[in-house]
Amino acid sequence: MLLSRSYGAWLVLFLLISPAFIAPSMSQLDSPWAAKKRNMREKVRKMFYHAYENYMKHAFPHDELKPLTKSFTDSLSELGNLKLQHLPRNYNGSALTLIESLSSLVIMGNNTEFERAVTWLSENLTFNIDARINLFECNIRVLGGLISAHILATDSTNRLVQGCYKNQLLNLAEDLGRRFLPAFDTPTGLPYAWVNLKYGVMEDETPETSTSGCGSLILEMGALSRLTSDPRYESAALRALRKLWSMRSSLNLLGTTLDVTTGEWIEYSSGIGAGVDSFYEYLCKAYILFGKEDYWRMFHSAYLAVQKYFRHGPWYHEADMRTGKATYWQLTSLQAFWPGLQVLVGDIGAANSSHREFFYVWKKFGVIPERYLLDHQMLHPTEKYYPLRPELAESTFYLYQATKDPWYIQVGESIVNSLNLYTKVKGGFASVRDVTTMQLEDHQHSFFLAETCKYLYLLFDDSFLVDRNYIFTTEGHPLPILSSWHERLPEAYIPTNWTYAKSEQQTRRASAMSRQVCPAIALRSGYVVQQVESACHIPDSRADHRCFSDEECGIDSSTCRRRSCSMAGYCGLWIQ
């Protein structure tokens, strides 16, 4: 049974980030569902290695695999040609799929292959090349992949043999981050969509970019700043994000494309799909990762606007940012990430409702088409393809973590079976060109290994997450939630916050900020029991914690942070 809307609203985020707290790990369970999960886990493992090994055999060290012809494509030619040292002068690849696969290898327990891949990249990858790259794509795929892999490589659980790794991936990430910075040198602080890694922004570069392109950089660049103690990366991404937010309409809606030099909108219609999707995602996840209140305020306002102007039952159409009037009634495959984001804020009822509709479309066609016209109940005539996208699997994973409803295991099983039935070929997994005929296209995107296989694997086996707190970037790269990365209130931010805890030996100052305790909880120090009550605590207006606005919520007793009202109408600290 699904969690009730009210229960999920105040508890689900903590449980999602700490899945080990929800229920025993899979190895601790002995039930028919546990057996099914083990079986499905192995099916997904075989899928991943079928794709990975064919890439390594037929395409490595180029970017991506062409599974039908067992050849390769240097897809980063669209992002830029990130060349490798010690290879022929005309080589154009960057081992993109290898970079994208690093965290998946760790999640699946293959530390040996992870170490081998890290060593190879450390010795071969360079960004000192005359190459025009797409800032957004290179950020989420390459920078995010390198940062995540660096963190996994330095994990205390010995991801790599001690002494073998000396921050080579972080050094590469820092070098790449430095090459991003010229893109932000604009009158508005909004970055160009394209930048040359060697020469910066070209003289005739287009000033047009998307909302996602300039508003979805904060996780990777913020993490880079925290790891290197160089604030430039986070500052550049944050300045762009704040400028973008200042361009919202009076309805708190944003458009899809804009001019980075003038700060003017080009396309006023937008939704939660392509061009905007990860903007919403990164506002929420940046608050989880860094704890900055600004991110939550922006997300909260944006989320309310989406629910008010885009939502129609379980579906989300597009609307004009200026008027809120509907423009396009269509489902796009990228929208399927939205239920997973709703889980993060505790809106389980809405997440489940939309997810079921997306899965209905999946079942109808066997996979989910790129675009489906809701007003005509038909496929878009030219966008009938399915490029192995991960979004439905991603939301299925989040909803199962939040509810433990076995129905989501069945959804995952259906996705796995469809992928094996329709897209698996001898040379890997191929994209679907037309979902009505299941005609295949000769392309295995790197995100199939970075995200699709990863989320399916985690759905059936979340042991990687036990006793660890992670958020996943929009490309599926895990970043740890660390207290040292969070903004904190000063230890004694107002004098009246202090109470005193007395013992036989001494009297010392104590507060909710220093002791992290609720009112009137007994603390034992040696043989002395102390009663410490937070002076900052203000109860919620109602004993059942129901609310209609933030004004009805009080101040938390253990952190002295103001509580807020969730979408479901309950007070709480939604993101710790």
Q: Which sequence positions are flagged as catalytic?
A: 137, 277, 370, 391
- Specify whether the CB–CB gap between 218 and 239 falls below 8 A: no
- Please tell me the total number of residues recorded for the chain in this structure: 576
What's the DSSP call for residue 183? G
Q: For residue 150, how many other CB atoms are within 10 A of its CB?
A: 24
Q: How far apart are CA 493 and CA 262, in angstroms?
A: 41
Residue 327 is labelled as binding a ligand = no
Q: Tell me the CA distances in angstroms from 202 to 53, 131, 219, 239, one per residue in order.
A: 38, 11, 26, 22
Percentages (nearest 5) of helix, strand, coil residues in the chain? 45, 15, 40
Q: Which two tokens stand for residue 408?
A: 């989501």
- Tell which residue, 314, 309, 283, has the closest CA to residue 296: 283
Contacts within 8 Å (CB) and 24+ apart, 413-416: 413/36, 413/40, 414/359, 414/362, 414/363, 415/362, 415/456, 416/40, 416/43, 416/44, 416/47, 416/456
Kindly tell me the burial class for residue 88, based on how many C-beta atoms sit within 10 Å of its own C-beta (0-12, 13-18, 19 or more).
exposed
Concatenating the DSSP letter of every residue in 186-229 gives SSSSPPPSEEETTTBS-TT---EEEHHHHHS-HHHHHHHHHHHT
Q: Is 499 within 8 Å of 531 (Cβ atoms)?
A: no
Cα separation of the two ends of the chain: 26
256: which 2 tokens?
């899809």
* Whole-number Cα distances in Å, 79 to 124, 139, 221, 510, 546: 19, 10, 18, 54, 48
Binding-site residues for Ca(2+): 474
Binding-site residues: 474
